[in-house]
Amino acid sequence: DTAVSQTPKYLVTQMGNDKSIKCEQNLGHDTMYWYKQDSKKFLKIMFSYNNKELIINETVPNRFSPKSPDKAHLNLHINSLELGDSAVYFCASSQTVRETQYFGPGTRLLVL
């Protein structure tokens, strides 16, 4: 029944490690997003894909690399993790770039 799902829900790792977060949506949407929510609760868009093509790429370190194997999946790989990467990462999807976005439950990343 889950519309937008993310794995893992929690991720604790050490500085310098490489990790991936996965996102899947079963809504048949064409557009998917990755957001970062910092400790002050601000949501900032990182990337957006439409039909597997990158359409938004905000000012994000190139240690972050999104990959969309198909329309239903958008994964986020992070190289050389830093303390400042600690945050909650949300995946979202929408039918088109103009429609309401549906968010996943978030992945809580803690870099030690």
Partner 1 sequence: KNQVEQSPQSLIILEGKNCTLQCNYTVSPFSNLRWYKQDTGRGPVSLTIMTFSENTKSNGRYTATLDADTKQSSLHITASQLSDSASYICVVRVFYNQGGKLIFGQGTELSVKP
Binding site for partner 1 (CB under 8 A): 4, 40-45, 56, 90, 92, 97-98, 100-106
Q: 49: exposed, middle or buried (C-beta count within 10 Å: 0-12, 13-18, 19+)? A: buried
Where are the strands (E) in 51-94, listed by range? 53-57, 64-70, 73-78, 87-94
In this complex, which beta carbon is closest to partner 1, that of residue 14 or of residue 100? Answer: 100
Closest CB 42 distance from partner 1, rounded Å: 5
Closest CB 108 distance from partner 1, rounded Å: 8
Closest CB 34 distance from partner 1, rounded Å: 12
Q: Which structure tokens are listed for 49?
A: 């894909």
